[in-house]
Amino acid sequence: MKNTETDINNKQIPLSFLDLAPVPMGSTIADGIAQTVEIAQKAEDVGFNRYWMAEHHNMVGIASAATSVLLSHIGSQTDRIRIGAGGIMLPNHAPLVVAEQFGTLQALYGDRIDLGLGRAPGTDGATFQALRRQMSDAERFPQDVQELMYFLGNDTDNSPVQAFPGAHSNIPIWILGSSLFGATLAAHLGLPYVFASHFAPQMLEHAITTYREQFKPSAYLDAPYVMLAANLLLADDDATANYHFSSAQQSFVRLRRGEKGQMPKPVEDMNSIWNSSEKAMVDSALSVSFIGSVDTVQPKLADFIARYQPDELIVTANIYDQAARLRSLELTPQLNLFTLQSPVALA
């Protein structure tokens, strides 16, 4: 039956969480990981669908470099929520090794495992060389994705090389992207697609339109499935949310300046941090952000969902203050936009 405008605006979709395991200023990596576990447990309690982590290297404020190792720790501290990579930067790895790592995760935690794949190195050129990789390795991304799918599939029994663990696991693979390349590849392979609109929204509409129009049904997926990423930070009032979001804004400015550092403390006035061109850059990069109270965010987020019709939304809130992150998760069920697995009653 065709959706009416009211049906579309009231559509509820699954909600997932993307984490970078931020290490707050003045904290240790162990502190950051402990806070990450707490966030994953809260996401599970609230009823989020997935908890994903992203691979980044040579960043002192991010603790998720050894992504599969940290995911194993998260898996041991949670029970129901799906866990996975959003994503593994495949040019950094041999497909066989990734198949073995995620096959091991599935052996440990069952059918809770997802594997999102990205084409970018997730780091700078010098670190890419330290990983013993070359920039040209990204050109093999389509072939590497298919090789990885092969190792995780059911057809390697007579192969001289097999993934143990990994073979026959059929772990769900997602293609991540912020351009038409990933959208076209995901459509051609019949895989679900995740668009990185939380930091690179410029080609959002074009990419998901291309994916949906070119999608070819496959053994993995009958119809296109789009998950969109967004920044989401809820608080009891707008001023508190905007104050804490300044940590994420500062991190973006530092990244563009080539400055390293742990997750910065929030500030009252970002004009003391950035210049006008940096502000314009950050505002553009982080334009898919929903920051404020539930009453402020609800209509804006509803309009976003109605416009782009994602099948799922994955949100992130990489900020300094742990209590603010936890409070944001606690407030999420009040949005009434999402199908949550087991929402908790709020005081």
Residue 149: inside a domain, yes or no? yes
pLDDT value, residue 129: 72
pLDDT value, residue 7: 43
Q: What mean pLDDT comes out for the span 75-91?
A: 96
Confidence of residue 80 (pLDDT cuts 50, 70, 90): very high
Q: What mean pLDDT comes out for the span 88-97?
A: 94
Q: What mean pLDDT comes out for the span 245-265?
A: 94
Q: Which tokens sit at 194?
A: 């995740």
Task: Judge whether residue 336 has pLDDT over 60.
Answer: yes
Output the DSSP codes for 243-306.
Answer: HHHHHHHHHHHHHHHT---SBPPP-S-GGGT--HHHHHHHHHHT-SEEEE-HHHHHHHHHHHHH
pLDDT value, residue 181: 95
Residue 69: inside a domain, yes or no? yes
Q: For residues 84, 37, 229 and 96, what is the CA-based torsion angle, rounded to 10 degrees?
A: -20
Whole-angstrom distance, CA of residue 262 vs CA of residue 320: 9
Task: Judge whether residue 120 has pLDDT over 90.
Answer: no
Task: Judge whether residue 207 has pLDDT over 80.
Answer: yes
Domain interval for residue 122: 5-339
Range of weakest confidence among 102-106, 233-237, 321-325, 336-340: 336-340
Q: Taking Cα atoms as reference points, which of 167, 270, 186 lies closest to residue 227? A: 186
Residue 231: inside a domain, yes or no? yes
Residue 55: inside a domain, yes or no? yes
Q: Taking Cα atoms as reference points, which of 166, 126, 132, 133 lies closest to residue 150? A: 166
Q: What mean pLDDT comes out for the span 173-183?
A: 96
How far from chain centre, in Å, is Cα 128? 21
Residue 347: inside a domain, yes or no? no
Residue 346: inside a domain, yes or no? no
Instruction: Give counts: helices (H), strands (E), the chain.
Output: 12, 10
Residue 344: inside a domain, yes or no? no
User: Which is it for the CA torsion 160, 164, 168, 169, positive or negative?
Assistant: negative
Packing angle, helices 322-331 and 29-46, rounded to 10? 10
The domain spanning residue 144 has which CATH number?
A: 3.20.20.30
Q: What mean pLDDT comes out for the span 114-128?
A: 78
Q: Taking Cα atoms as reference points, which of 296, 340, 344, 265 lies closest to residue 17? A: 340
Range of weakest confidence among 91-95, 211-215, 234-238: 91-95
10 and 335 in contact (C-beta within 8 Å)?
no
Domain count of the chain? 1
Residue 345: inside a domain, yes or no? no
pLDDT more than 70, % of the chain: 91
Confidence of residue 135 (pLDDT cuts 50, 70, 90): low
Q: Taking Cα atoms as reference points, which of 262, 273, 321, 244 lies closest to residue 26? A: 262
Vertex 279: Cα angle to 276 and 280 (nearest 5): 90
Whole-angstrom distance, CA of residue 13 vs CA of residue 313: 7
Vertex 84: Cα angle to 316 and 11 (nearest 5): 55
Task: Judge whether residue 142 has pLDDT over 60.
Answer: yes
How far from chain centre, in Å, is Cα 208? 16
Q: Output the pTM of the full model.
A: 0.92
Other C-beta atoms closer than 10 Å to the C-beta of 260 total 11
Predicted confidence (pLDDT) per residue in 292-324, tens digit: 999 999 999 999 999 999 999 999 999 999 999
Task: Judge whether residue 184 has pLDDT over 50.
Answer: yes
